Amino acid sequence: MSNNAHTTHRPSFEWSDPFLLHDQLTEEEQMVQRSAHDFCQSELMPGILQANRHENFDRNIMRQMGELGLLGVTIEGYGCAGLSSVAYGVIAKEVEAVDSGYRSAMSVQSSLVMHPIWAYGTEAQKEKYLPKLASGEYVGCFGLTEPDAGSDPGSMKTRAKKVDGGYQLKGSKMWIT
């Protein structure tokens, strides 16, 4: 009996892509993933290491993300890429592999700031804010969690009152992302 008769085939496991998602991506999505991966490893990683070392949020990183089209990825027009949600997901995966904080900043900018402006804003608001948010010139923020409400929007006590020239805010937040 030869040794080949007793050899067992061991299944392979791809640690970098455990669900074999790469093979399910379109050519465009694969190109987006390669571009995002290259950017994250060569540009983002060194910038984030410095930002973390000095304990600051480096706005230039947001500008770099904007230059590559990583902000507001799914939005059509206004300086945004107009790509699929899957493309956004592979970009988020690549940024997350380097730093969760800046992936969160990218997601807040894209989903919680830019998308509502795109979906519900006036054309004037879209033209005023979206290009600068897409380029990273503007960095949007989001505040939800309150001392007595946690992250339950129905229990929030903070209120906005319309006044001449804008709004007056009254309340408190635990943090602003």
Residue 170's domain comprises 143-177
Structurally, the chain folds into a number of domains equal to 2
Same domain? 38 vs 77: yes
Please list, in sequence order, all residues whose beta carbon lies within 8 angstroms of the beta carbon of residue 157, skipping any fewer than 6 positions away. Answer: 146, 148, 149, 171
Cβ–Cβ < 8 Å for 173, 146: yes
The C-alpha atoms of residue 20 and residue 76 are separated, in whole angstroms, by 29
Same domain? 136 vs 153: no
Same domain? 102 vs 51: yes
Give tens-digit pLDDT for 140-160.
Answer: 998 889 998 888 889 989 999
* 124 within domain boundaries: yes
Q: What is the pLDDT of residue 9?
A: 82
* 6 within domain boundaries: no
Tell me the pTM.
0.83
* 47 within domain boundaries: yes
Q: What is the pLDDT of residue 90?
A: 96
Give tens-digit pLDDT for 119-128.
Answer: 999 999 999 9
* 9 within domain boundaries: no
